[in-house]
Structure 1
Amino acid sequence: MLIQLLKTRILGIRQLLYSNFRQRKSRSLSVLFAVGLGLSLVVSACSSNATKPEAVNSPTSKQNVTGSITVNIGFQKAATILNALKSKSSLDQAIAASGGTVKWTEFPAGLPMLEAMNAGSVDFGYTGESPPIFAQAAGNPLVYVAYDPWGPKAEAIIVQKNSPIKSVAELKGKKVAFAKGSNTNYLVVKALESAGLKYSDIKPAFLTPADARAAFEGGNVDAWAIWDPYLAAAQEATGARTITDATNLAPNRGYYLARKSFVEEHPDVLKTILDEVSKVDKWAASNPAEVAKFLEPQLGIKAAALEVAEKRRKYGVLPLTEEVIAKQQEVADTFQKIKLLPKQIQVKEIVWKGNK
């Protein structure tokens, strides 16, 4: 009866407004739309409530929406923990227990993975310290959710075993290969500063690890700044000498990152992900030989070199501290100083507070 009465009143009001509309067109049109739409919504709400009064706060309905989630994970083969997590399927099983699924997507590097996160096709991933800085500067809505204390021994500036270069100071005027905007780009800047040189004192050769390896072995560059496991592979294959690693120069940390809206909408799922990541991280820390054997066919790097890399890195899935945030801010400020970063950013603005 209530619905029928409202419908009758709507019809009457519309007829009345239509007659006035011919005299005052523009003003009546707005009123007609607003009143008609408003009353129609009332009828719709009344009809919905009349037929399904329990749907508004139904626990079953909410559980189905949460349970049907597809979690999109971005990973790189050389990123040990997420690669191993995918292989073990423990996260897939944990998400499936509540009715959800996991989709894994491989990326060649951190920046394209974060671009996919910006597009909404990746919810969670892991990169080195530099990609999230450039992503934040580009307006990517990401959040730091944990860090991995990978360690300064896991990256270095190397030269060929017969090179006359013995120190960082001797890199002046030399061609140095590294990936632009990478963690080793930051290492190069800090190493030069420690030797009293400027970034402009060298000739940067911006190359991917594969291209840099070819240039290094071919003698087309004088030095190469690279991270593990490519560092260990080059040392094992060529006998390359280290002129400095990142000790006292750069923290060389990795970061677990998530799409901001995913963190806000599914904090419980994010915690499940971090729990499973932490379990695999602890397994990897205790089993470097097994990790090396697992990665060998995927990376095409000998297990012996991979085991060296695994043993000299640090492990952990840790909440960001003020010290870690401050150091990451220093990395960002350095990239802005050498004009690789287009604007200043504040790292602390995108740090998740839930992982405490």
Structure 2
Amino acid sequence: MRPTLRSPRLRRVAGVAACATVAAAMLAGCVSRGADAGPDEAPDAVPVAELTDVTLNIGDQKGGTESLLRAAGELDDTPYAVAFSTFTSGPPQVEAATAGQIDFAVTGNTPPVFGAAANARIKVVTAYSNTATGDQVLVPADSPLTSVADLRGKKIAVGKGSSAHGHILLQLEANGLTPEDVELVFLQPADALTAFQGGQVDAWAIWDPYTAIAQTDSGARTLVTAEGVANGYGFGIAADTALADARKNSALEDFAVRLARASQWAQQNPQEWAAEYSAAVGIDPVAGELAQGRSLRPAISLDDDVIASQQQLYDVFVESGQIQDGQPFADFVDPRYEGALTEYTSVAAN
């Protein structure tokens, strides 16, 4: 079943970024606001064979999009060039896309919400799903904490604007807590891992592969997973500038299809993909297999239910005072590639 975002108050259903060091707080001033939102009419398609002069600039996270495409052989025959830039998390990818420094990136469910709140110059053009079991709140193996309720008054490391940020807010709300009842310590994953291992925080809200690394390296214990609480979605976000460019738009459509095919390949070849992934990230194959066994993101339809679930997440952030209300999430969704992806997508389970 699709997880319900529980809120009794709901009424509506290595970066290249210029502000990378404060990307987690980008929505307070780093993102340039667009004049308006909402999908524009797509430019006329250009035959893929005529795109030899196009370079797509793709935002990535280590072991993510590029590794998957290469392992599946989907980068072997692109008529256009593809240049990848590595980021620590989704928020700086949204920042870079808004600045026109990248054309496309795959993020978790929360960075596009922060982008929408800031009226970022991006659109959500593809959607992906998983069970959210790799998104977890971890505690040290010897921690006395046994429930989310035990987090009251505790320090929780989390990346601001990341999917883990959304997850911890939902967990707090589901257990009658607010962000004021805990101390959220906003850290990027590498710094959060150091703080977690050094005992500087009591818990860590994080996603795979960091979840798997902490579990296999230090025996970190799972306090709770996001399954049944967060929607587990990922999204492909594209820069408005790229979508308005006929040649880049056509290349992006082809790229989105290749990414969907690569996800299918990974599902059909889990051991081969886990080995390739572990090598790309440079982690123990045991951790790599654990992460990819639960955190694959097959393509799904960018339908009304998915958009409504994201609006619910948006509302939770607004109601908790983490972001200011802005234009509806639907205004930042552009389903122009849905037709091309139909063969490779499924509808998220209800």
For Structure 1 versus Structure 2, the TM-score category normalised by the shorter chain is: 0.7 to 0.9
**1:26-65 correspondence to structure 2 within 5 Å:** none
Instruction: Mark the CA change 1:65 to 1:297 in structure 2 (over 3 Å): closer, same or farther.
Output: closer
What residue number does 2:326 align with?
344
Per-residue displacement from partner, 1:337-356 (whole Å, max 9, x unpaired)? 23332332311112123214
- 1:74 paired with 2:56, answer no
150, 156, 161: which one aligns with 1:170: 150
CA distance in 2, matches of 1:62, 1:175: 53
**1:134-283 correspondence to structure 2 within 5 Å:** 134-264=114-244, 265-266=246-247, 267-283=249-265
- 1:111 paired with 2:95, answer no
- 1:132 paired with 2:116, answer no
CA distance in 2, matches of 1:353, 1:290: 32
What residue number does 2:74 align with?
90
Instruction: Mark the CA change 1:62 to 1:178 in structure 2 (over 3 Å): closer, same or farther.
Output: closer
What residue number does 1:287 align with?
269
The answer on whether the counterparts of 2:96 and 2:102 sit within 8 Å (CA) in structure 1 is yes
Per-residue displacement from partner, 1:98-142 (whole Å, max 9, x unpaired)? xx3222222222222222222223112111112122223333221
- Give aligned-pair identity as a percent: 34
CA distance in 2, matches of 1:91, 1:215: 37
The answer on whether the counterparts of 2:118 and 2:326 sit within 8 Å (CA) in structure 1 is no
CA distance in 1, matches of 2:146, 2:308: 32
Q: How many residues align?
A: 291
Q: Where do 5+ consecutive residues of structure 1 fail to align?
A: 1-60
| Normalised TM-score (structure 2) | 0.76
Instruction: Mark the CA change 1:63 to 1:239 in structure 2 (over 3 Å): closer, same or farther.
Output: closer
Instruction: Mark the CA change 1:153 to 1:63 in structure 2 (over 3 Å): closer, same or farther.
Output: closer
Q: CA RMSD, aligned part only?
A: 2.3
The answer on whether the counterparts of 2:98 and 2:240 sit within 8 Å (CA) in structure 1 is no
CA distance in 2, matches of 1:147, 1:107: 20
CA distance in 1, matches of 2:197, 2:139: 10
Larger Rg computed on CA atoms? 1
CA distance in 1, matches of 2:112, 2:146: 33
Q: Where do 5+ consecutive residues of structure 2 fail to align?
A: 1-45, 340-350
SS of alignment partner, residue 299 of structure 2: coil
314, 326, 329: which one aligns with 2:311: 329
Per-residue displacement from partner, 1:226-264 (whole Å, max 9, x unpaired)? 111110111111222212101221112111111234334
The answer on whether the counterparts of 1:333 and 1:344 sit within 8 Å (CA) in structure 2 is no
What residue number does 2:39 align with?
none
Report the CA distance between 1:191 and its aligned residue: 1.1
Q: Which moved more, 1:166-175 or 1:280-289?
A: 280-289
CA distance in 2, matches of 1:74, 1:216: 27
The answer on whether the counterparts of 1:172 and 1:197 sit within 8 Å (CA) in structure 2 is yes
CA distance in 1, matches of 2:93, 2:290: 27
Structure of greater relative contact order (alpha carbons < 8 Å, 6+ residues apart): 2
Q: Which moved more, 1:308-317 or 1:326-335?
A: 308-317
CA distance in 2, matches of 1:107, 1:189: 24
SS of alignment partner, residue 255 of structure 1: strand
CA distance in 1, matches of 2:123, 2:235: 10
CA distance in 1, matches of 2:204, 2:109: 19
Report the CA distance between 1:269 and its aligned residue: 2.5
Instruction: Mark the CA change 1:228 to 1:172 in structure 2 (over 3 Å): closer, same or farther.
Output: same
SS of alignment partner, residue 77 of structure 2: helix
Letter in 1 for 2:74: S
The answer on whether the counterparts of 1:73 and 1:122 sit within 8 Å (CA) in structure 2 is yes
Report the CA distance between 1:290 and its aligned residue: 2.1
CA distance in 1, matches of 2:49, 2:197: 56
The answer on whether the counterparts of 1:82 and 1:277 sit within 8 Å (CA) in structure 2 is no
Instruction: Mark the CA change 1:161 to 1:125 in structure 2 (over 3 Å): closer, same or farther.
Output: same
CA distance in 1, matches of 2:113, 2:196: 28
Report the CA distance between 1:268 and its aligned residue: 3.4
Report the CA distance between 1:63 and its aligned residue: 9.2
Q: Which has the higher helix share?
A: 1
CA distance in 1, matches of 2:116, 2:243: 16
The answer on whether the counterparts of 2:116 and 2:326 sit within 8 Å (CA) in structure 1 is no
Q: Which moved more, 1:166-175 or 1:253-262?
A: 253-262
